[in-house]
Structure 1
Amino acid sequence: MSAEQTTTLVQRTARTAREAQAARTMSLARALRLTAAKQADRLMGLPLSALSVTRRAISGEDVSSSLEVSSLMLLMDGAGDQVAAAILDPVLVTGLIQQQTMGKVMPPPEGGETRRHTATDAALCAPFIEKLLSGAALLPDTPDECALLNGYRFGVWAREPRQAQLALDASEYVLVEMTLDMAAGTRAGKLMLLLPQSKRVVVPVEQGGDTVAKAISTANLAENVLGLTADLMIGLTRIKMPLQKVSGLKVGDMLDLNLSSMAHALVIDGNGRALARGTLGQIDGWRAVQVEQRDDRKHTKPRRRASDRDGLDLPDVTAPQPGGEGLEDVGLPSLADMDVFGNLDDLPELPDMEEAAQAADSQMADWNAAQGSREDDDDTKRQNQAGW
């Protein structure tokens, strides 16, 4: 056997092994394909198959390119305030509604479908999307793909692409595109899933006899903080003009900003509050602001030394009182010369301790006797009042 024949045989063997391994592996695409067919038949008796399933990563800025006015956009609420989106084209929406209302799928008209979607369309299509995501989340072999699909429920119908774009605020997404065939070729629609990149691991657990998915977060505090976004605006100047003139502005009108320099730009938050001042410019073709650093270190260190008193607005407690008179000047004696205890020789002699104790016992005995006679008189008085 030649070297070329040996190489070809090894390649065929390796290719066969890869194909066998791929057939046994449960990927994300295969999980969605199997779940879509099963849930469509279980929920509405619809013969459905996935002709193709593709997956690619996109950034949060590219989400708007996948949102179209003619599509039905369903926002899905997930764990940890995550929001995903299911985008169904009009052909797919009409087929799902026809199967649930008429029991059969009709071929699309020749002129296309231009009907505007309603909240009823969203309510009829949302259960299929929920079951598709929850069922497929249990099948993939890798925990990352399970976490990508797990924990989503229908939240709200987005009427316009702008509403969906505001809700989809993650930095990275996975775009899954599925071409679904309905009723053996009667209709073929497209379904797109915008899934945020998750930092959770999902493991299947037994609960009440059923297998459910449990999500475990793996993101730490540093990753969560670095993933936050803050929207800041740059203000160059403020212009006052009548409301009538503002309403009459149109594309192409010019406004005089009356600026001679870009060194007085303000960094403004969403509430209109100025956070910092800087200079507006550009770096490598991108707009940039060089923020001025304010020195606030003088307020961060305690000022407790005697040398720091000059810069503090504090009264001088060591200074003499107004008038400049001391204790000697007003005729008061010095405390060092005062006799606090007086003449101790004039005090009487203390009695003997045993004699004092006997005198105290004698007084207590007389007091107890008087107290007992008083109580007996009270008892006799009560008995006479009771008629005894």
Structure 2
Amino acid sequence: MAASSAMRRKLAAGALAAAEGGPGADRSWRLSLARAARDQAHLSLEVAWATIDLLTLAELLELPPERALVAILEGPGDGLGLLVFSAPVLAGIIEMQTIGRVTNLPPAPRRPTRTDAALVAGLIDAALSGLQDELREEADLVWAGGFRYASFLEDARPLGLLLEDASYRVLRAEVSLALGAKTGEVILALPAEGRGQRPAPRGAQAEPAETGPAFTLALGEQVLAAPALVEAQIARLTLPLAEIMTLQPGQVLALPQAALDRISVDGLDGRRLATARLGQTQGMRAIRLTLDPPAETAAPAEPAPVAAPIGTAA
């Protein structure tokens, strides 16, 4: 009995862990940062090491190195975070995007500019988006997902006024650019209190969009909104092709079965949908339906044969 209860507790704990995801932001950040550098800047970036820590705002403010680019990030629940590129890393990215290669020269002793920020903004967003995708089934998604680039600072001094006085999860990575041409630090700091979406349970499969109720409803609305052409016919004639080829203006075609109170309303397949009476409304020709559509099994109306010869109008 005790063994059975213990087994049930283990299974329940496993199910709960699966529903909450699992930690993995440090590993996911390595992958997404390298992929973003490759895809956005055609730059080879390798992460030598990475750590994740829980820091106070005061501790976080001591991390940005001198002349680093400090990018402000916006996320769920009006949360603010930051991403820091040290001067060598920033210089390597800028060199790759401007001259197509990373040099071994030390970075210029200057502050980052708005142009620098514009050149790396796409890479930042790609890295953050990749991090979110990597964490879609991980518990870390709740605090690491949903952030995007918002602005930048020339130096880190105003950070104490911008950021909330709270705890932050800080990912620090030492990176190598272009096989060691430049090395430096990348720092990602996000509010520790998770305000984003929770991860999907592991192994859960969402209902395909092509088969869900919403898709069925939308498809039905599209079908019902599609144009459908119907024809109001006074009569149908069947004539030999030779006679049709000799038709001339002024000739009269006899309509022996035509009646203005028995107009056939047909679909494009020739199937009769209703019977109507000819009239007018608001100065325009119109028809009034007089009979309900026949059963769907009814055969299409056959054209009326015309035996009378074609004559000349009197």
Which interval holds the TM-score relative to the shorter structure? 0.5 to 0.7
Cα distance in 2 between the residues matched to 1:45 and 1:68:
25
* 1:66 equivalent in structure 2: 63
Aligned residue type for 1:178: A
Equivalent residue, structure 1, for 2:30: 33
CA RMSD between the two structures: 2.5
Contact map agreement 1:91 1:108 (CA 8 A) in 2 = no
Distance 1:34 1:168 in 2: 27
Match of 2:118 in 1: 123
Residues 99 and 179 (structure 1), Cα distance of their counterparts in 2 relative to 1, 3 Å cut: same
CA deviation map 1:257-289 (0-9, x unaligned): xxxxxxxxxxxxxxxxxxxxxxxxxxxxxxxxx
**Relative to 1, partners in 2 of residues 1:185 and 1:167: Cα closer, same or farther, differing over 3 Å?**
same
Matched, 1:84 2:75: no
Alignment of 1:14-29 (within 5 A): 27-29=24-26
Decide whether the 8 Å contact of 2:49 with 2:175 is kept in 1.
Answer: yes
| Structure 1 contact 175–195 (Cα < 8 Å) conserved | yes
Residue number in structure 1 paired with 2:304: none
Give the letter for the 2:187 counterpart: M
CA gap of 1:93–1:146, structure 2 versus 1, over 3 A, is: same
- Aligned-partner SS, 2:95: helix
Q: Tell me which of 49, 72, 76 is aligned to 1:75.
A: 72
Q: For the residues of structure 2 that align with 1:118 and 1:53, how far apart are their CA atoms?
A: 27
How many aligned residue pairs are there?
A: 183
Secondary structure at the residue paired with 1:46?
Answer: coil
- Per-residue CA deviation, residues 239-262 of structure 1 (Å, 9 max, x unaligned), is xxxxxxxxxxxxxxxxxxxxxxxx
Q: Could you tell me the TM-score, scaled by structure 1's length?
A: 0.44
Contact 1:144–1:198 (Cα < 8 Å) also in 2: no
Q: Which of 199, 206, 210 is the matching residue for 1:203?
A: 199
Q: Unpaired segments of 5 or more residues in structure 2?
A: 1-21, 210-314
1:154 equivalent in structure 2: 149
Matched residue type, 1:163? P
| Change over 3 Å in CA distance of 1:184–1:81 after alignment to 2 | same
Question: Which of residues 151, 170, 176 in structure 1 aligns to 2:171?
Answer: 176
How far, CA to CA, are the matches of 1:90 and 1:118 in structure 2? 12
Q: 2:48 is matched with which residue: 30, 46, 51? A: 51
Does the CA contact (< 8 Å) of 1:137 and 1:148 recur in 2?
A: no
Offset at 1:168?
Answer: 1.2
CA deviation after TM superposition for structure 1 residue 52, in Å: 0.8
Give the distance between the partners of 1:61 and 1:157, measured in 2 at CA.
Answer: 20
Q: Which deviations, in whole Å up to 9, do the C-alpha atoms of 1:313-334 show, x marking residues without a partner?
A: xxxxxxxxxxxxxxxxxxxxxx
Give distance in 2, aligned partners of 1:159 and 1:206.
44
Superposed, 1:1-388 pairs within 5 Å as: 27-109=24-106, 113-140=108-135, 143-200=138-195, 201-203=197-199
| Helix, strand or coil at the partner of 2:139 | helix
The alpha-carbon deviation at position 170 of structure 1 amounts to 3.9
Q: Which has a greater percent of helix?
A: 1
What CA distance in whole angstroms lies between the structure 1 residues aligned with 2:207 and 2:120?
A: 28
Percent sequence identity over matched residues? 25
Take 2:79 and 2:102, find their aligned partners in 1: how far apart are those partners?
34
SS of equivalent to 2:73? strand
| 2:234 matched residue in structure 1 | none
Larger deviation: 25-34 or 112-121? 25-34
Q: Cα offset for 1:113? A: 3.4
- Higher normalized contact order (CA 8 Å, seq sep 6+, divided by chain length): 2
SS across alignment from 1:161: coil
Deviations 1:138-166 (A, max 9, x none): 22376431122211111111123222221
Alpha-carbon distance between aligned partners in 2 of 1:84 and 1:90, rounded to the nearest angstrom: 19
Change (3 A) 1:28 1:101: same
- Specify whether residues 206 and 71 from structure 1 end up closer, same or farther in structure 2 by C-alpha distance, changes over 3 A only: farther
Unmatched segments (≥5 aa) in structure 1 = 1-24, 210-388
Task: Name the CA distance, whole Å, in 2 between partners of 1:80 and 1:207.
Answer: 28
Contact 1:51/1:181 (CA < 8 Å) preserved in 2? yes
